[in-house]
Amino acid sequence: MSLSESCESVSQKRTLSSLLAGRVVKRPRQGDGERLQEAVLQLLEQEQDLLSLLREAENPNPLNHFSAESGESEQAVSQGIPSTIAGSLLVCELRRQATQLGVPLAAMSVKMVLERLTDITETQEVKEDKRRAILTSSQRVQLCALLESCRELQSHGAICPQLLWQEYRRDQRRPKLDVVYHLHLCNILTLKDILESDEGVRSWLVSQLKALCSWTPPQGEKEAKQVQQKVLSTVVGVLVGTGFQSRQEAAASQRRRSSLLCCSVMDDMLFWLLDTGDNSSTQQSAGSGAELWCQLFDASLCEVSASSEALQLFFTHSLTQTLTYKPRLTVSDAITLQNEWTFAKSNRLLTSLFRKLAVIFSVEQLLRHLQQVLETHEVNWKHVLCFISTLLVYNPRAQPSLRELLSRLLSSAFEGYDLENMITAFLLARQGALEGPAIFPSYSDWFKVSFGGGGVYHATSKKSLVFLLKFLSDLVPFEPPQYLKVHLLHPPYVPVKHRSLLMEYVSLAKTRLADLKESVEEMGLYGDVSGAAGAAAQPQCQAVQDVEKAISLFESTGRISATVMEASIFRRPYFLTRFLPALLKPRVLPVKADAWMSFIEALKKADKVPAAQFSSYVESCKRLRQQKRSVVDADAHDDPCQVLQFQLQELRQLVADGNEGETSAQLSRISHTLNVILPGHPDDLAGQKVIKLQTDTPQLPELHIKVVDMILRNFCQCTLDSSGANPPNKQNLWASAYVSTLLGNPQLLSSLLQRLWHLFHHQAPSLSAAHLLGLAAFVVHLHASVSHSPLAQMAPPLRAEPVPVAEALCSALVCNTNASMLFCVRFCVAAVCYGICRGDSLPQQPQQDYILSSLYKKLLYLIPRLLPEARRTLEDGPVGEHWEENNLRVWNSSTDTNSSWRKTACSLWRHPVFRQLQHLPQYQLLFTEWLSHELRVQRSEDALSDPERLEYQQWACLELYLPQPEEQGGCGGDMKRLCSHLLNAVMEQQLSEKSLGRLDVLHTGSCLPDILCRLQELVCEMELTSLSGTGQTHVCDFLFELASQRFSASESVNSQLSLQHTLDTWNRVLLALPSVSFIKVKTEGSRVTLDCDKLIQHVNQHQRKMCLPVGLLSFHLTSHFLRGVLCASLRCGRSGENFNKAWSQISIHCPLLLLSTAYWWERLSRIAVSLWSRLCDGETLPEQLQLLSDSQNWTCSLKKGQLLQIPSAPALVVAASLYSSWRGCAEDEQDLRAALNMLRTERDYREVLVLLLFLCVNSYLLALLYPQERSHQTSRSLCTQVLTVLVDSLDSDWLLIFKANEKCVVTMVTSAEFTRLMPWAFFSLLQQQRAELLHKVLCCPGFLNIAVSCYISLLQLCLDGHTPALITELPDSQTEEPSQILSQAKLFVLRAISQTSPTSLSSRQLSQLESQCAGLDPEVAAALSMHLDPHRLSPEMDFL
Question: Tell me, what DSSP letter sits at residue 727?
Answer: -
Q: How many CB atoms lie within 10 A of CB 145?
A: 18
User: Given a cut of 80, is residue 481 above it in pLDDT?
Assistant: yes
pLDDT tens-digit map of 853-867? 999 999 999 999 999
Most confidently predicted of 22-26, 218-222, 504-508, 842-846: 504-508
Q: What's the CA gap between 725 and 795, in Å, rounded?
A: 41
Q: What is the pLDDT of residue 1000?
A: 40
The rounded distance, in Å, linking the Cα atoms of 43 and 64 is 24
Which of 667-676, 1131-1140, 1361-1370, 1420-1429 is predicted least confidently? 1361-1370
**pLDDT for the residue numbered 11:** 38
Higher pLDDT, 990 or 361: 361
> Which one has a higher pLDDT value, 640 or 38?
640
Type of residue found at 1005: G
> Where is average pLDDT lowest: 462-471, 659-668, 835-844?
835-844
What pLDDT does 1268 receive? Answer: 58
Q: Quote the CA–CA distance of 711 and 1138 in Å, as a whole number.
A: 77
With 90 as the cut, is the pLDDT of residue 1335 above it? no
Confidence band for 1339, pLDDT divided at 50, 70 and 90: confident
Q: How many CB atoms lie within 10 A of CB 23?
A: 13
Q: Where are the alpha helices (DSSP H) in 325-418?
A: 331-337, 348-358, 363-376, 381-394, 398-416
**Res 937 pLDDT > 90:** yes
* CA–CA distance, 454 with 496 (Å, rounded to integer): 12
CA-based nearest residue to 1063, from 1051, 1072, 1052: 1051
379 — pLDDT class (breaks 50, 70, 90): very high
For residue 529, the surrounding DSSP H or E stretch is none
- SS3 of 1281, please? helix
Single-letter residue type at 1345? N
Predicted confidence at residue 876, as pLDDT, reads 52
Pairing of strands 1080-1084, 1087-1091: antiparallel
How much is the CA Rg of the chain, to the nearest whole Å? 51
pLDDT surpasses 50 at 1029: yes
pLDDT digits (tens, 9 = 90+) for 792-820: 888 777 776 788 888 888 988 989 999 99
pLDDT at 1164 over 90: yes
On whether the CB atoms of residues 259 and 248 are closer than 8 A, the answer is no
| H/E stretch holding 795 | strand 791-795
Report, as an integer, the average pLDDT of 1181-1191: 91
Positive or negative CA dihedral for 632, 634, 635, 636? positive
- Give pLDDT, residue 31: 57
Of 382, 373, 375, 392, the residue nearest 350 (C-alpha): 382
Is the separation of the CB atoms in 305 and 237 below 8 Å? yes
Identify the pLDDT of residue 1304: 73
For residue 628, what pLDDT is reported? Answer: 45
* Rounded Cα distance, 850 and 880, in Å: 18
Q: What is the pLDDT of residue 827?
A: 93
Residue 1427 neighbours by CB under 8 Å, 6+ apart = 1393, 1394, 1396, 1398
pLDDT > 70? residue 214:
yes
Q: What is the pLDDT of residue 962?
A: 93
pLDDT of 1159 above 90: yes
Q: Does pLDDT of 1270 surpass 60?
A: no
Q: For residues 1368-1390, give the mean pLDDT.
A: 68
The pLDDT of residue 124 is 56
Report the percent of the chain where pLDDT is more than 90: 21
SS3 assignment, position 495: coil
Give every CB contact of residue 1412 below 8 A, 6+ residues apart in sequence: 1348, 1349, 1352
Cut 0.85: pTM above it: no
First to last CA, the chain: 196
- The answer to whether residue 875 scores a pLDDT higher than 70 is no
Q: Sorting pLDDT into bands at 50, 70 and 90, what band is 9?
A: very low
State the maximum Cα–Cα separation within the chain, in Å, rounded to a whole number: 196
Rounded to 5°, the CA angle 1426-1430-1433 comes to: 85
Distance of CA 903 to CAs 869, 1114, 1307, Å? Answer: 11, 54, 67
pLDDT category, 541, cuts 50, 70, 90?
low
More confident residue, 199 or 1377: 199
Q: What are phi and psi of 911, to 5 degrees?
A: -65, 135
Q: Please report how many Cα atoms fall inside a 13 Å half-sphere around the Cα of residue 232, on the Cβ side.
A: 30
Residue type at position 1007: C
Please tell me the distance from the alpha carbon of residue 568 to that of residue 553, in angstroms, as a whole number: 17
Say if residue 1297's pLDDT is above 80: yes
Give per-residue pLDDT as tens, 110-137. Answer: 888 888 888 888 765 555 566 677 888 8
Helix (H) or strand (E) holding 1084: strand 1080-1084
pLDDT tens for residues 244-277? 876 555 555 566 788 888 999 999 999 999 988 8
Mean pLDDT (the chain) is: 80
pLDDT at 683: 44
Separation CA 321–CA 105 (nearest Å): 48
Q: Give the range with max mean pLDDT: 552-566, 926-940, 1096-1110.
A: 926-940
Q: What is the pLDDT of residues 1219-1261, one digit of tens each?
A: 888 776 645 666 677 777 777 666 667 888 888 889 998 888 8
Cα–Cα distance between 1357 and 590 in angstroms, integer?
38
pLDDT of residue 1110: 82
Mean pLDDT of 164-171: 82
